[in-house]
Amino acid sequence: MASYKDSYKYTDEELDDLIKKYCTDFTQNVRNDMYDPITGRDREIKEMVLILLQKGRKNVMLQAPAGVGKTAMCVGLAQQIVAGTVPDLLKNARLLELDLASMAAGTAGMSEFQGRFVPVLKGVGERARDPDYPLIILFIDEVHQIMPSCEGSSYKGLSEVMKPYLTSGALNVVGATTKDEYRLYIAVDPAMDRRFQKVDLSVPTADDTFNILINLRRNFIKHHKIEISDLALRVLIHMTEEYMRKRNQPDKSIMTMDSACAWHVMNHGSDNQELSLDSIYKIIERETGIHVDALSISQEKLDEYTAMNEAATKKREEAEAKAEAGDGSATDASEDVSEATPEKDTSSVTPEASEEAPKE
């Protein structure tokens, strides 16, 4: 297919300037090593790839509660694009987050706002089928805010501007919102609803969260300069599941790990130190208001977690030994941990339960 570069309304320089002003380039940030590794979402990322490869209706709607990792999903996709582990159509693609707040800043009204919004859509859309340009995927967080029915939003009504581009297949869009907000604002507009395919993100279990923290731990150790044991991670997840039930994994455990490390360094320094359980209890107390004396974990539970970690470590060592002997390939540490972890009853852990009081 020939390039129609000379017929484009916006030159390459003008489009690049718009992208620098009003977008965050996830793929470039991945190349600059600005993100932690995203793990545990391979199935959902494959669903995104499947949708983006289609000729029509190639727009993704990520649905999940706050804190589950909708934006992280896009980072994970960007990491796979940069690594080259995607189909040919998506190789060298650019994943850009539209920064609607930057677009709206300094505008006197909706017409001026759209004067910034439309050139980005037009510049991206008119290059969509040109093989001389990489595919551009646009990510819109809190996408329900662009719907006309979203009263109080500075961006309401932008969906009407986007619809022609979505209909013609000129855009690949990834939107993110919660199920409730999708139902209230987007599902009521059939024309917008049918242009997206939904990908639901489940809240990670305690074991899934542990695997996620294992993969994130290296960068937190590098930043805080203290060690973080497997036992500390198990206890941390247990405490957040038990006492911070209105928030979702993995966000609440990642936040607590970071805060506990900071509290430990502030009070004990970082020279040859290991994150203490007391530091975790202090952060849980700070977040929930429950006195630290009521937060201690039983020795029986600590012994259980220790046994789980020993089993996981043994399985990892066996996998590494097999790989070195040529009997198999190295197994990802997070998979080993998951397989070595016995099933636990999590029926009592519900997001709706109170944060203010411990479970009876």
CATH number of the domain encompassing residue 62: 3.40.50.300
19 and 117 share one domain: yes
Spell out where the chain has E strands.
Answer: 23-25, 60-63, 94-98, 136-141, 172-177, 197-200
The per-residue pLDDT for 127 is 92
The per-residue pLDDT for 298 is 75
Closest CA to 198 of 1, 11, 50: 50
41 and 175 share one domain: yes
137 and 116 share one domain: yes
The per-residue pLDDT for 303 is 82
Q: How many CB atoms lie within 10 A of CB 349?
A: 17
- For the chain, what is the domain count? 2
* Residue-wise DSSP of 55-76: SSS--EEEE--TTS-HHHHHHH
Given 180, 200, 220, the domain boundary residue is 200
Closest CA to 116 of 107, 125, 127, 124: 107
Residue 346 lies in a domain: no
Domain that includes residue 90, residue range: 5-200
Tell me the C-alpha distance between 150 and 10, whole Å. 31
Chain-centroid distance, C-alpha 64: 10
Residue 350 lies in a domain: no
159 and 15 share one domain: yes
Residue 349 lies in a domain: no
Q: Which two structure tokens, joined as six digits, stand for 217? A: 């731990």
SS (H, E, C) 211-254: HHHHHHHHHHHHHHCCECCHHHHHHHHHHHHHHCCCCCCCHHHH
234 and 191 share one domain: no
Chain-centroid distance, C-alpha 215: 14
170 and 230 share one domain: no
Amino acid (one-letter) located at 61: M
Tell me the three state secondary structure of residue 136. strand
Residue 105 lies in a domain: yes
Tell me the C-alpha distance between 342 and 345, whole Å. 10
172-177: strand order across its sheet: 23-25, 94-98, 136-141, 172-177, 60-63, 197-200
User: What are the b/e assignments for 42-81, b being 16+ CB within 10 Å?
Assistant: eebbebbbebbeeeeebbbbbbbbebbbbebbbbbbbbbb
For tokens 């190789």, the residue is: 91
Phi-psi region of 250 (alpha: psi -120 to 50; beta: other; left: phi over 0): alpha
Tell me the C-alpha distance between 31 and 52, whole Å. 22
Instruction: Tell me the CA distances in angstroms from 91 to 37, 58, 166, one per residue in order.
Output: 19, 16, 22
33 and 64 share one domain: yes
42 and 156 share one domain: yes
pTM: 0.82
248 and 269 share one domain: yes
- Would you say 236 and 256 are in contact if contact means Cβ atoms under 8 Å apart? yes
- Strand 60-63 relative to strand 136-141: parallel, antiparallel, unpaired? unpaired
CATH number for the domain that contains residue 220: 1.10.8.60
Tell me the C-alpha distance between 210 and 196, whole Å. 32
29 and 116 share one domain: yes
Residue 91 lies in a domain: yes
Kindly give the parts of the chain with pLDDT less than 70: 1-4, 272, 326-360
238 and 210 share one domain: yes
The per-residue pLDDT for 352 is 38
The per-residue pLDDT for 204 is 93
179 and 152 share one domain: yes
- Would you say 69 and 250 are in contact if contact means Cβ atoms under 8 Å apart? yes
Closest CA to 165 of 120, 113, 132: 120
What proportions of the chain, in percent to the nearest 5, are helix, strand and coil? 55, 10, 35
Partners of 98 in beta bridges: 23
Q: How confident is the model over 14-65, as pLDDT tens digits? A: 999 999 999 999 999 999 999 999 988 999 999 999 999 999 889 999 999 9
Contacts of 135 (CB under 8 A, 6+ apart): 89, 90, 92, 93, 94, 128, 172
